[in-house]
Structure 1
Amino acid sequence: MVKFSESFQIAPGEYFDVDIVGDTEAYVDPDKLIAASSDLFDGTAAKHSVGTFMSTVLSSYKVSDTKSVEQLLSVPHEINATHLGLSAHESRGNGTSFPMLDQYLRRALAQSTQGSVLRENPKVLVVLVNRFDKDHFSDLITNLILPQLCDFTLGVCQSYGIHAVTSFPIDYFDPASKCWLKKNVLLPFDSKHEPVILIPKKMLVKNYDFSISDYVWKFLLEIRQSEIKDSTGKFISKKQLFADEVRPYGQNASKQYALNDLQKNVVHLEEYLAIKKRNSTSQASSNSL
């Protein structure tokens, strides 16, 4: 393990001191962008980029502009320069995956409330989209705030007198034109001549505050328990309910079950998100890096 601070012989700071020869399992949390704001990081611009991207994708779906949607969703990719995630040392090349997101986003637009939920809390993608996990989502957010992260990295270098920065090309989402553009940025390079992108440690978490298993097991199945008890007087364990109602969906059963419930009860997802938002402050210290 070689930390960034060790490699460049500087003191730790507001940046996450990443291992530049390996990988660290950590994730960018879009809910913490504003809290991570500083003289070096523009959290407001980062949040605006994420919100504009989600709105642009949904707006393109509404006018059946599938080509634009595919172009928007096909550019994001794993950025190895952050050294974060489950396999930062080796690019998977999965990107955001248009086919992966397409099915859910089409369903989301079937109800305007779902579209609103997605704009306000894009982390629902992790909960509801098949094969779209926390690593994919963190990659997506990282791509969307890449200009701010590169500015932050350069700012850290300038603050600590690191002059060995080199021009490097990136793709970035431009909220003004609502499309992906290209530009060169200045970044530090490691001993293997690979770029390094630093991230404010305040925006990183060990895990997201909700997951599909948490949503189904601790929320939806408890609702079903109450419904059955109210109507029949019988108590059915969550284990039995899972076997009877969730497992029959087969592959990706929990996400399919949640999507089916969403078609009938959008309020369930809204209530779950509200609970998680209320709990986020008390859980912040234990989940932070």
Structure 2
Amino acid sequence: MKLVTEYFDLKLKQKDVDFIDINMEGDSKLFINPILLTESIDEDISLMGPKKVDSFFERVFTLYSDGKQAEALSTLFSHSKESNANHLGYSSGESKGNGASKQSLDQLFDTILKTGALAEDIMVQPVSILVFAHDFGQDRMSDLIVSILKKEFVSYTLSEARKLGIPIEVEEISYGEYWDCDTSTWKELRDNWVKGADGKALILTPKQIVSQKYGFSVNDYVRKAVWVWRKDHHVAERTPLARPQYDKNGNVSYIEPTNETLKVEEIDKPYANKDGKWKLYALEMTIENPQLYSQYFDKLNAEGWKNRKTSLTDDELVNIVKESR
């Protein structure tokens, strides 16, 4: 294991540095969380991060809604590349190709545009795309954010290197492309670089903006929004899923179905043998009752995502990095 602090002989520990003291010989299962970008003490990332991510998804939505589906998907996938420079996420052997995600998002966007149900709300929000798009999880979102904010991450890395005396290579290299929100296009980034233990460019990540798991998911949305509505629906309509209950006088009342019953009857059976059945179900229910989306995300916004922010402690980061391979 070659930690950044040890490899560059900084005489510092994780608690003493702002970045994740990653193992440069492995990939730690940590993911950049879009709702934590504002927590970074680096101002470029905390201020420009959310703005650039929003700009990116707005551009994709505009292209798609204008009938330029191929250009939209190219903007989303062809320019954003998986990078191992930050040594985060899944190893290359575990990472999936773009094909399934392209098809999934194409189907999602197409369905949303055809129904008109909360189209802009869903399509421009990275959080909701994670909830509804099959095979587009936190690993792919994390890689995408690194690509969008590559300029900010490289600037942050070089700034930390100068502050701590980490050697910086004098020649410039190409880091690939980053998102320019002023022109709404991808642009090539060339800059100086820090040589990691593997001889390749190293990118450091502020420790405030990563999670092991995002604090939101399709399961959370279904359980806290969709099923609350469905239980009321079944009782009010006295469907077969609402169980009758009689008191001693013979009066009948109805008991709402359990979560397990709803899972079996509304997800497992109707979507049997389909990939991403929870997300398919969540989207169908949201199209049927768009208020579900508004209620769920308005509540999260009202809470400031406070309970969903899952920043990790220094000790937790150390333990996760130790498990990297």
Superposition pairs of residues 196-207 of structure 1, within 5 angstroms? 196-207=202-213
Out of 237, 245, 261, the position equivalent to 1:240 is 261
| 3-state DSSP of counterpart to 2:190 | strand
Partners in 1 of 2:300 and 2:291 — Cα distance?
Answer: 14
Note if contact 1:78-1:94 (Cα within 8 Å) is conserved in structure 2: no
Note if contact 1:80-1:91 (Cα within 8 Å) is conserved in structure 2: no
Instruction: Name whichever of 124-133 and 90-99 sits farther off.
Output: 90-99
- 2:163 matches 1:142: no
Q: Deviation of residue 225 (structure 1)?
A: 1.5
Out of 249, 265, 288, the position equivalent to 2:271 is 249
CA deviation map 1:256-282 (0-9, x unaligned): 101111211222122222333427324
Partners in 2 of 1:186 and 1:91 — Cα distance?
Answer: 28
Q: Deviation of residue 14 (structure 1)?
A: 1.3
| 3-state DSSP of counterpart to 1:82 | coil
- RMSD in angstroms over aligned alpha carbons? 2.4
The change in CA–CA distance for 1:144 and 1:150 in structure 2 (over 3 A counts) is same
Residue type matched to 1:9 in 2? D
Note if contact 1:96-1:140 (Cα within 8 Å) is conserved in structure 2: no
CA deviation map 1:13-52 (0-9, x unaligned): 111211211111111122222221435x442222221111
| 3-state DSSP of counterpart to 2:309 | helix
2:131 is matched with 127
Note if contact 1:24-1:84 (Cα within 8 Å) is conserved in structure 2: yes
Partners in 2 of 1:286 and 1:197 — Cα distance?
Answer: 20
2:2 is matched with 2
1:275 is matched with 299
Gaps of 5+ in 1: none
CA deviation map 1:159-179 (0-9, x unaligned): 111223353312111112212
Out of 116, 123, 132, the position equivalent to 2:121 is 116
Note if contact 1:77-1:140 (Cα within 8 Å) is conserved in structure 2: yes
- 2:44 matches 1:46: no
TM-score by length of 1: 0.89
Q: Deviation of residue 209 (structure 1)?
A: 1.0
TM-score by length of 2: 0.80
- 2:192 matches 1:186: yes
Residue type matched to 1:157 in 2? A
- 2:106 matches 1:106: no
Note if contact 2:61-2:123 (Cα within 8 Å) is conserved in structure 1: no
Residue type matched to 1:244 in 2? E
1:57 is matched with 60
Partners in 1 of 2:304 and 2:58 — Cα distance?
Answer: 26
Higher relative contact order (CA 8 A, sep 6+): 2
Partners in 1 of 2:311 and 2:235 — Cα distance?
Answer: 35
Residue type matched to 1:78 in 2? E
Name the count of aligned residue pairs.
Answer: 287
| 3-state DSSP of counterpart to 2:216 | coil
- 2:60 matches 1:32: no
- 2:82 matches 1:78: yes
The change in CA–CA distance for 1:283 and 1:103 in structure 2 (over 3 A counts) is closer
The change in CA–CA distance for 1:244 and 1:91 in structure 2 (over 3 A counts) is closer
